Structure 1
Amino acid sequence: MDINDLHPPDDYSHRFFIWHEWIQANGPLTAENVFDYFATSMFYDKQSNNQVLRMQTIHSGLPIENEAEELKRFTGVEFAVVHSQPPTMFIVQKRERLSPDEVRPMAAYFIMNNRIYQSPDVYTILSNRLLTSLHSLQTSLDILRSHRPDYTPRTGFVWPITDPSLPLEITKKRTTEDDAMNVDEASSIAAPKRKVPNSPEAPRRQQNNMLLLNAMRATAAHSKMSLASSAFAASAENLPAETPVTHIRSSATPGPSSQAATPKNVPNAPTTQEPAKVPPGGGKKKRKRI
């Protein structure tokens, strides 16, 4: 395992540089002395072409008149001030020179209010923003989960929304009524429903009376049929009973002779049977003739 994996080199992306003594000794930053101030920071590379050019002219004591033109003679890493807005804003670019007319940017640094910062790359900016967004979402969901209301079968998870313009007492009263309603709905699952009289404030529900009307019609029709059948049975019972006729034939007279007579106290004579009472609407049964 490479030791750099455990201890990666510091890129100074989370640090800044400021030197108050240098500012007090040399005055505020300008386009001429800003690079000298940048060269004292930890962002400056001592092996860059700028340092090589300075070492070549350090013994002669002559200042470098045009450093940008002199750096075109070299190839490699160099620094250049690409934007100057004294005394508050400066941008220094680190780049690799491939030819006198071709360079490739490597990093950027900005100086703001005498503080030198390293500008982050696009990957660092995007990853930082995504991590910040995810952290905020996770924190919000944790807070919502801890304050989630109780579940009710009728409404589910409903958040109590209050109007800030209403007085505090009315808001508390509504919250108490909502809690009581949720408790009643939860208890109604285990216990049977009870009939509650209609209050004048609550709206009345429309009832379906068609089933009751059809049942009343069927009951009235059935009662009429039962009354007619019972009257018919009563009239049949009030009719007089027929008396049996006995034909007596004499043995002396050869001719047939019939005489209607009413038997009196004949012990062996059959007696008439009373008709059996039938339930109303059952109809009239036929009598047997003997």
Structure 2
Amino acid sequence: MATPPMAPPSMEGTPPPMAVQPPGTDMTGICFKDQLWLNSYPLDRNLVFDYFAISPFYDWTCNNEQLRQRSIHPLDPSHLSKMTGTEYSLNEVMEPHLFVFRKQKRDSPEKVTPMLTYYVLDGTIYQAPQLCNVFAARIGRALYYISKAFTTAASKLEKIGYVDSENEAAAFESKVTKETIDFKEVKRVDHILQSLQRKLPPAPPPPPFPEGYVPAPTAEAENGPETQQAGEPQQPQMDPIIDQGPAKRMKF
């Protein structure tokens, strides 16, 4: 960045050079840094005002400049409190990284009206934005993203509704087609089974029970004739496999 004009020697009657922009205007879009000055002098609370004075943010008509011309430290509060007009004060210091200047208008030793704030961060000077501008920028950005979110959501909902209507129509058509196909298949399967039943011979009778197997008594057998005595011995039930003897058992 081009270095702004340097302050002239402290001589009475010598007008200071004009700043790039009138002091007090919105200059939040620019910053200032002079690497040559930083390489030559340390950045501390005693010399930081001299560094700030060579920036375009400095107002040459301030009370601090009058003290500089009188070889008085420009931040001396004992002298500034006795003057009226525009002045700069050093509010916060975190050497060597952060220095905060406040531009204010002094009407009396007790009455001071803040105007603007500047800060020097790692050798770069910025103008701090006003609180109303910060709120306006944040609200504008929030409204932009909210509007964008609603637009995106509306476009996606339109696509979802369009796809759902298509899916419903396709599902209805497929359902009707499927029901018709299933009804025809049922008739076709019944016809095939009936034709096979007519062509095939009747099922053979079940094979007879093995020799010596006695079927389990049924309910009719339990309610048999009264001529059978209750104490008459009955033949025990035999397993057709186990009771045929060891010779007919399977060997593993």
Q: What is the DSSP-based 3-state SS (H/G/I as helix, E as strand, rest coil) of the residue aligned with 1:194?
A: helix
Matched, 1:141 2:150: yes
Whether 1:17 and 2:18 are equivalent positions in the alignment is no
Secondary structure of the 1:14 match is coil
**Could you tell me whether the CA contact under 8 Å between 2:28 and 2:129 is conserved in 1?**
yes
1:137-188 CA distances to partner (integer Å, 9 max, x unpaired)?
2333333344442426xxxxxxxxxxxxxxxxxxxxxxxxxx6x75341257
Distance 1:105 1:113, change over 3 A: same
1:189-233 deviation line (CA, Å, top 9, x unaligned): 7x7973855xxxxxxxxxxxxxxxxxxxxxxxxxxxxxxxxxxxx
> Given the alignment, which residue of 135, 140, 151 partners 2:161?
151
Give secondary structure in 2 for the equivalent of 1:44. coil
Q: Distance in 1 between matches of 2:166 and 2:64?
A: 79
Higher relative contact order (CA 8 A, sep 6+): 2
CA distance in 2, matches of 1:20, 1:78: 26
Q: Normalised by the size of structure 2, how large is the TM-score?
A: 0.54
In the TM superposition, what is the alpha-carbon distance from 1:133 to its structure 2 partner?
A: 0.8
Amino acid at match of 2:67: L
In structure 2, distance between residues paired with 1:68 and 1:36? 16
Determine the C-alpha separation between the residues in 2 that align with 1:109 and 1:124. Answer: 15
1:128 aligns with 2:128: no
How far is the alpha carbon of 1:109 from its aligned partner?
Answer: 0.9
Per-residue CA deviation, residues 39-93 of structure 1 (Å, 9 max, x unaligned), is 1111110001111222233xxxxx5497211112211110010111101111101
Of 45, 62, 76, the residue aligned with 2:59 is: 45
- Within 5 Å, give how 1:97-246 maps onto structure 2: 97-148=106-157, 149-151=159-161, 183-187=166-170, 194=176, 196=178
Unaligned runs of 5+ in 1: 1-8, 58-62, 153-178, 198-290
Task: Supply the distance in 1 between the matched residues of 2:171 and 2:131 (Cα, whole angstroms).
Answer: 59
User: 1:82 — aligned with what?
Assistant: 91
User: Which of the residues 17, 26, 29 maps onto 2:41?
Assistant: 26
Deviation at 1:16, TM superposition (A): 1.2
CA distance in 1, matches of 2:132, 2:145: 20
Q: 1:47 to 1:118 in 2, by over 3 A?
A: same
Question: Structure 1 residue 135: deviation in Å?
Answer: 1.5
Amino acid at match of 2:117: A
The alignment partner of 1:99 has SS state of coil
AA at the equivalent of 1:13: T
- Can you give the 5+ residue segments of structure 2 that lack an aligned partner in the other structure? 1-23, 180-252
Amino acid at match of 1:16: C
What do you get for the CA RMSD once the two structures are aligned? Answer: 2.8
Which structure has the bigger radius of gyration? 1
Aligned equivalents of 2:75 and 2:61: distance in 1? 20
* Number of residue pairs matched by the alignment: 155
Percent identity, aligned pairs only?
Answer: 27
Offset at 1:102?
Answer: 2.4
Task: Say if 1:150 and 1:137 are closer, same or farther in 2 by CA, change over 3 A.
Answer: same
Q: Can you list the C-alpha shifts for 1:15-51, whole angstroms capped at 9, x where unaligned?
A: 1111111101113x11111111111111110001111
